[in-house]
Structure 1
């Protein structure tokens, strides 16, 4: 694996101090429940929450929606457009997940069916910014899957002018109202995940992105509940040729870099002149950007402009398995079959990654840190489980019993063989 790809997977190892801090928080929450959640929220976020009114009331959600609709109707319309697109895509996903039933010679069947989880917790980041888009991306697939109870958590900020004084952005509250999410709680971090797993919700699965403490909490909760993925800082790889627009490419890289100081934004092209033009665009645009500080950090540490021919560019992409992959080339469809490891692919120069972030349809909660090699984007299937089904007739049991008995005997499992044999000998 090339050195620069190895450098971009720097978050694969969790720091020991993060492990210890998260372990202590989870132990407290497991022992003391909500009391520990409130204590850690006070310590880490500087917010004093009232346990008597912890769950954000439906009236407050509705008030926030009314406020946004009144003050910024165009924003509410955009929110609804995003929700409609994400729901349409999720419903299409559900339609592709079919139950299976295969006939047996004696009249029985074997198969499997998709069953929704009973409960799910969704984590909505709220550290550097609030993300109503992530609320939609996590809640809608769970709703379409048929999850009975969906519990949302999001970090607060000490902003008493906001509805209910929870410090949650009005657009997040408005989005929750629009989605019909009935449970939203104003706390985040490892303590929120601990409460989802150990507390009264005792959810079957937690989903949604977060910082390194959230990712580490997920890792430590494996086995207590399901998780969607162990996500790290966000990533973008752009493969481009001389047909690409340097200004567009520069903004695409900056759009990724502005997420986080650890975000990785990489451009690979065989065209040296294009790389130099993008470099010039970046220097000009970063210098005047209102996000200059964070862009300089992330691009300086984890930005790359790489000169490589097509075959090597494809090999680099396959090795890195980036979260996002843009194909800004003349014939992207010809490249696509070879690019199987990325989390999400954006095909053609018009298909900016930003459209995926804001609700063209596919989910923006994606695998990072090379885990896209073996795992998939968040979707309806995340909130479903497969259950196998075996329905034997007496004739099927009689036909199977002799060879099942032989296999059981070979493995030394006496009663397996006898259990099958009784059905076989009982055949009328």
Structure 2
């Protein structure tokens, strides 16, 4: 991260820690050009409901699509929760050892609002937290100077309607490092912050590690497509463009052994970019980070495993044969029908994913993000008596006299 970004974020976080919401208001006015009123920082539930009613009346098809996304993401999250089982193992003397999953008490969710608004991200972050059982969920999203609905602080009505649909009652119109500082240091003092953002948001999350939990340090979005001659060049071109349109730093890479396919995709990219309403951003991102690569299977697997891209599309006839070799990507999209766009817009799995090679060790956002494991030890007297001699011996070997005595007392008591 650039030194100027680190310094700017450090100054903002320190100010918010010292002055709280007053600092949040000042930085929002300075950076976003929006003067927030002290008495009206939190969106009233009535404003959220008004946005939902407005869109139900004016764009019912859009609200129906949003509800499909919400239903699919919730169904997937509920399946995740059922798969996270508590553990209990019996001991010979009648006791048990185990662990259980416990929800965090509070979580903050960050909803980006720079180049676009993302109600889909609101759903992707809030729903797993709800399903995990988090008691208090606090959302923040940047405002805009231009009005949308009355009292909406320029926030897109679909974001507000999504909050209403989810039952989220705490949503605040500020973003950036100042919002994260308030979530961590202010009155919410959340246990974890989740959700993607720009470089200032990513740096704020980095600096807040240790103050609260962080889901991941999200960088620019990434897509690797592996394709063979069975793939449609038009589909591949649109998949690459769908990734590239996020921002100028988005990476969209296609790898294939089929040179004819690569040439056809290159032609499609040129034609479609020229005709696109998002031509300016596409030209930047494809020039900066777009690549069409000819490589054999072995080299392609090595590239995928080393890069560990956020998204990996397998547009090949024998996708199942590739799967055992592709373990590091954040999310796999298997088969030509499985466009990454379906993952972004609510097929079920979460679209908040690890980037910048962190998918080697990190996982997608999900229910487990908002849970912690708690170990459990329930010894029966007979278990304590059986363990006491060797625990005492090990403790004494490490020079921890009173550990040994503590264990030995339980052993003597049983006798």
Asked whether the two chains share a fold, i.e. TM above 0.5, the reply is yes
Q: Does 1:190 align with 2:177?
A: yes
1:74 maps to which of 33, 45, 61? 61
| Structure 1 equivalent of residue 125 of structure 2 | 138
Q: Does 1:397 align with 2:384?
A: yes
| Structure 1 equivalent of residue 37 of structure 2 | 50
**Cα distance, 1:167 vs structure 2:** 1.0
2:276 maps to which of 272, 289, 292? 289
Once residues 144 and 319 of structure 2 are traced to their aligned partners in structure 1, the CA distance between those partners, rounded to angstroms, is: 43
| Structure 2 equivalent of residue 369 of structure 1 | 356
Corresponding pairs, count: 415
Once residues 92 and 208 of structure 1 are traced to their aligned partners in structure 2, the CA distance between those partners, rounded to angstroms, is: 21
| Structure 2 equivalent of residue 412 of structure 1 | 399
Gaps of 5+ in 1: 1-13
Preserved CA contact (<8 Å) 1:123 1:153: yes
Once residues 183 and 84 of structure 2 are traced to their aligned partners in structure 1, the CA distance between those partners, rounded to angstroms, is: 27
**Cα distance, 1:165 vs structure 2:** 4.1
Report the RMSD for the aligned CA atoms in angstroms.
0.6
**Cα distance, 1:161 vs structure 2:** 4.0
| Structure 2 equivalent of residue 344 of structure 1 | 331
Once residues 141 and 187 of structure 2 are traced to their aligned partners in structure 1, the CA distance between those partners, rounded to angstroms, is: 17
**Cα distance, 1:176 vs structure 2:** 0.2
Matches of residues 168-183 of structure 1 in structure 2 within 5 Å? 168-183=155-170
2:257 maps to which of 250, 270, 277? 270
2:215 maps to which of 228, 240, 259? 228
**Cα distance, 1:340 vs structure 2:** 0.2
TM-score, normalising length: structure 2: 0.99
Q: SS in structure 1 opposite 2:276?
A: coil
Preserved CA contact (<8 Å) 2:47 2:152: no
Q: Post-superposition, which runs of at least 4 consecutive aligned residues in structure 1 deviate over 4 A?
A: none
| Structure 2 equivalent of residue 379 of structure 1 | 366
Q: SS in structure 2 opposite 1:201?
A: coil
**Cα distance, 1:311 vs structure 2:** 1.3
Q: SS in structure 2 opposite 1:152?
A: strand
**Cα distance, 1:159 vs structure 2:** 1.8
1:114 maps to which of 87, 90, 101? 101
1:65–1:165: structure 2 CA closer, same or farther, 3 Å change rule? Answer: closer
TM-score, normalising length: structure 1: 0.96
Matches of residues 58-69 of structure 1 in structure 2 within 5 Å? 58-69=45-56
Preserved CA contact (<8 Å) 2:193 2:213: yes
CA deviation string 1:391-416 (max 9, x = no partner): 00110000000000010011000110
